[in-house]
Structure 1
């Protein structure tokens, strides 16, 4: 198991520090592990799962939008979306 400090979480997610802490307060983001009195880190697998969930949500929206519009998925996206289903 690997731990990630805040800067690595920011780099991985593209979120800012305030956004990460706001989402944690709303229970919308993984919470860190206390390392010391003033040090925390996030479990890398939890961050990766959170990112993957965002990708899965996007892919599902693309499928739904394509179905509602009555047209096939953009051929460039089809292999990515269908292999995750």
Structure 2
């Protein structure tokens, strides 16, 4: 597992910060992991799985 910052996530998916957090609130995107009091990170495997799922849904 590799942890990714918000910037790293945004390099992988075409969403703004506000869109990412809105999708998280609607359970449409992987939630981050709290790694310290003021810092979160995303599991890269969860982001990869989300991307794979979206590509399969699109028939790609």
TM-score category of the 2 structures, normalised to the smaller one: over 0.9
Question: Runs of 4 or more off by more than 2 Å in structure 1?
Answer: none
Question: What is the aligned-residue RMSD (CA, Å)?
Answer: 0.8
Partners of 1:3 and 1:32 lie apart in 2 by 9
Give the TM-score of the pair, scaled to structure 1. 0.68
Structure with more of its chain in strand, by fraction: 2
Give structure 1 stretches of 5+ with no counterpart: 60-80
Give structure 2 stretches of 5+ with no counterpart: none
Q: Which residue of 1 aligns with 2:5?
A: 5
Structure with more of its chain in helix, by fraction: 1
* Bigger-Rg structure (1/2): 1
Partners of 2:2 and 2:41 lie apart in 1 by 9
Aligned residue pair count: 60
Question: Aligned pair 1:53/2:53, yes or no?
Answer: yes
After TM superposition, list the pairs within 5 Å mapping 1:18-29 onto structure 2: 18-29=18-29
